[in-house]
Each structure stands twice: as structure tokens, then as C-alpha cells.
């Protein structure tokens, strides 16, 4: 289990084939204003890769971009709506096909309104992750060890979560509905970027 830190791109050939867990850290929640600072990737085999972008980066990152845009690779997110929008806006690629553990959780854990990553990892995997660094300065030229470990922990459990969530989606007969939601997610992110961020276009009012 190692956290690998890279500047401006992922090295070629560091990921095993198959689904990859993806997360991002930014300067804030308003995508066009708050630049993309870090992209985290894990192939689920135990290591995590952090790719950090400097201020003024052109986000060329050909290796990372190829992995994110690869239609053969499923991308696992927790609240992918935000990450997909950030990656689209800054890197110009739609990082799909998509699986989102938050959407899966909402479709099956109907007995709770707690769908945060920390809560999911605790309930489904019996592990504890810290969210202390969530609101830290991701633009700092030197990221602390605590920041790096936090960033890595956000992709560390997504493969295991998917396995547990899939069992429950099958059990409750909601796999097909979940898949339809995952397929729509890049379009929901596009609506965020295009000017409908907090507007539900399906709502009556
Ligand atoms: Mn994160």
C-alpha cells in the first residue's frame, strides 16, 4: 500500500487493467472559479496515485487524460457529479463510463440520509477514514503528509464499496435504475457547467 505523488501527469503504465477509482481536490466548490489541484487514481490493487497540477497548468497530462477518457475503463467515484464536471472543465475530457457510490447508496440505503463516504466506508466495510483535511488548501505548493493520505483515502475504498453496493442493488432490484442514473451522470455534470447547477430540470416548479 503506497501513495505515489506525481506532478502534472500520471506516468505511463502504472495502472492494472480494469475499473479505476477517481477523485479530485480543487480550490473550492465553484468549478469555473476554483481550479483543479489534484486528481487521485487507484486501480484497486492497493496503491494510490496523486497527480498534482500547478497554478497556470495547461492540464495537458496525456497519460492521465487517456486513462480518464478510455471507454473500456469504468470510473468509480463518490459524488462523481462534481469530479466529472471539474475534469471536463479543466482537462476537456468526459471521464466516463461511470459508477457513483453515492448514487448507489441513495438507491439502496433508504433507511438513512447519511450518504457521505466516511459513513459508507464505516457501515459497509467497517473501516474508519478521517475527513479532517477535506477543506484544506489544495493549492499549497507543498502538500502535507496528512493531505496526501486524505486524498489517497478518498479513492482507496471505492472498489470494495462497489462490490458491497452491487450486492444490495441486485438484492433490492435496483441495478437497472442505478445504471441509468450512472449513464446520465456526465450529462448532469454538463448541466452544472452549462448554467443549471442547482436547478432540477425534472421538477414541476
Ligand atoms: Mn476527495
Residue-wise pLDDT tens digits, 61-78? 999 999 999 999 999 999
Rounded to the nearest angstrom, the distance between the alpha carbon of 200 and the centre of ligand 1 is 25
pLDDT band at 24 (very low <50, low <70, confident <90, very high): very high
Cell of 27: 480550490
Cis (ω within 30 of 0) for the bond into 14? no
Rounded to the nearest angstrom, the distance between the alpha carbon of 130 and the centre of ligand 1 is 11
Rounded to the nearest angstrom, the distance between the alpha carbon of 25 and the centre of ligand 1 is 5
Rounded to the nearest angstrom, the distance between the alpha carbon of 64 and the centre of ligand 1 is 17
Rounded to the nearest angstrom, the distance between the alpha carbon of 204 and the centre of ligand 1 is 33
Rounded to the nearest angstrom, the distance between the alpha carbon of 154 and the centre of ligand 1 is 5
- pTM for the model: 0.96
Q: How many CB atoms lie within 10 A of CB 172?
A: 13
Rounded to the nearest angstrom, the distance between the alpha carbon of 79 and the centre of ligand 1 is 10
Residue 168 reports pLDDT greater than 90: yes
Residue-wise pLDDT tens digits, 85-105? 999 999 999 999 999 999 999
Instruction: Kindly list the structural domains of the chain, giving each domain's residue range(s) and its CATH number in brackets, ordered by start.
Output: 3-136+144-194 (3.30.420.10)
Rounded to the nearest angstrom, the distance between the alpha carbon of 108 and the centre of ligand 1 is 23
Residue-wise pLDDT tens digits, 26-50? 999 999 999 999 999 999 999 999 9
Sequence-ordered strand ranges (E) for 15-136: 20-26, 36-42, 48-52, 75-77, 98-100
Amino acid at each position: 500500500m503506497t501513495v505515489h505523488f506525481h506532478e502534472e501527469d500520471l506516468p505511463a503504465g502504472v495502472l492494472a487493467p480494469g475499473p479505476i477509482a477517481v477523485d479530485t481536490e480543487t480550490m473550492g466548490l465553484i468549478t469555473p472559479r476554483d481550479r483543479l489541484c489534484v486528481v487521485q487514481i487507484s486501480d484497486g490493487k492497493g496503491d494510490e496515485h496523486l497527480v498534482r497540477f500547478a497554478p497556470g497548468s495547461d492540464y495537458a497530462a496525456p497519460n492521465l487524460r487517456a486513462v480518464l477518457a478510455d471507454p473500456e475503463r469504468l470510473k468509480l467515484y463518490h459524488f462523481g457529479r462534481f469530479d466529472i464536471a471539474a475534469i471536463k472543465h479543466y482537462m476537456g475530457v468526459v471521464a466516463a463510463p461511470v459508477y457513483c457510490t453515492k448514487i448507489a447508496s441513495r438507491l439502496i440505503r433508504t433507511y438513512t440520509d447519511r450518504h457521505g463516504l466516511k459513513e459508507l466506508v464505516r457501515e459497509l466495510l467497517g473501516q474508519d477514514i478521517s475527513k479532517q483535511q477535506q477543506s484544506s488548501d489544495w493549492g499549497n505548493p507543498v502538500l502535507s503528509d496528512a493531505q496526501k493520505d486524505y486524498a489517497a483515502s478518498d479513492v482507496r475504498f471505492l472498489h470494495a464499496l462497489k462490490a458491497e453496493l452491487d450486492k444490495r442493488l441486485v438484492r433490492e432490484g435496483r441495478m437497472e435504475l442505478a445504471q441509468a442514473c450512472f449513464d446520465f451522470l456526465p450529462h448532469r455534470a454538463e448541466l452544472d457547467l452549462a448554467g443549471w447547477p442547482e436547478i432540477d430540470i425534472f421538477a414541476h416548479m
